[in-house]
Amino acid sequence: MPPRRLVFGSAADDYARHRPDYPAAPVEWALEHTPGPRVLDLAAGTGKLTARLLERDVVAVDPDPGMLARLRADLPQVEALEGSAEDIPLPTASVDAVLVGQAIHWFDPERAWPEIARVLRPGGVFAGLWNCDDGAVDWVTGYASALAHGMANPRGGDGAELDLPEPFGPTERATFRNDRLTTTDDLVASVRTQSWALASSEEDREAALARMRDYLATRPETASGSFVLPGFTLVLRTLRS
């Protein structure tokens, strides 16, 4: 099996179809202090975040050929390059912002932070964005617990932190509502594209998803047809000195 951060390519089409999009407001906040138009979407995947950056001069970088193939098919106007946070295929001081959607936890900090600082111009923005389910809602916590079944919660992101060395400054944090209309089938399809599910055995994955379905069938909020999944987008941003 490939390294866990490279398992997504096998599910690229489902990832593009079922993973949540990024609202405009958190992306605008992330880029509020950007000194220029050139933006790198790092670990861009299928281009969920890239699609919000088309009015800027955007370049996308991802290490997974399968994910890049889907991004190139959906967004042929975007420059899309194979590379990683530890080895970014761009010149020094060539971008005004680096955005990362749902992927910072895959980075090797000792190698990634200097490399991100290298490609950023002075005054440039580095920001991470996470689409998170709202764990303050009891049935949302309940379905996650049903999935985990006593193991580590397979979801995550809302507890993300950034503690970056120089030349990065202090980190600012903001959250934006990102509720979405879904169904049990669509939510299960989205969960199938998470790394734990792609890396699990078929038996373990299907058992977890069956527990999730059974739980959602017991809740009045989710038992009949479509429902609103409460969520938010978390943004952490910092500036390069």
DSSP 131: E
DSSP-derived secondary structure letter, 165 = P
Can you tell me the distance from the alpha carbon of 104 to that of 16, in angstroms, rounded to the nearest whole number? 19
Instruction: Classify 23 as helix, strand or coil.
Output: coil
Tell me what pLDDT residue 154 has. Answer: 43
0.95 surpassed by pTM? no
Q: What pLDDT, on the 0 to 100 scale, is given for residue 4?
A: 58
Cα separation, 81 vs 68, in Å, equals 8
> Which residue type is seen at 227?
F
As a whole number of angstroms, the distance between CA 188 and CA 160 comes to 24
- Whether residue 40 contacts residue 97, with contact meaning beta carbons closer than 8 Å, is answered with yes
Tokens of 134: 């709202």
What CA–CA distance (Å, rounded) separates 62 from 102? 12
* Residue that is written with structure tokens 């058992």 in the block: 207
Radius of gyration of the chain (CA): 18
Task: Name which CATH class applies to 4-136+155-181+230-239.
Answer: alpha beta
3-state secondary structure of 102: coil
Q: Specify the pLDDT at position 5.
A: 57
Which residues sit opposite 173 in a β-bridge?
236
- Give, for all 241 residues of the chain, the pLDDT tens digit: 445 556 798 899 999 999 999 999 999 999 999 999 999 999 999 999 999 999 999 999 999 999 999 999 999 999 999 999 999 999 999 999 999 999 999 999 999 999 999 999 999 999 999 999 999 999 999 999 999 874 444 444 556 788 899 999 999 999 999 999 999 999 999 999 998 899 889 999 999 999 999 999 999 999 999 999 999 999 999 999 9
Give the pLDDT of residue 1: 42
CB 54 within 8 A of CB 79: no
Instruction: Please say whether the beta carbons of 234 and 132 come within 8 A.
Output: yes
The reported pLDDT for the residue numbered 95 is 98
Residues 6+ apart with CB under 8 A from 10: 66, 198
C-alpha to C-alpha distance for 182 and 50, rounded to whole angstroms:
23
Q: What is the pLDDT of residue 155?
A: 46
> Whats the size of the chain, residue-wise?
241
Is the CB of residue 110 less than 8 Å from the CB of residue 226?
Answer: no
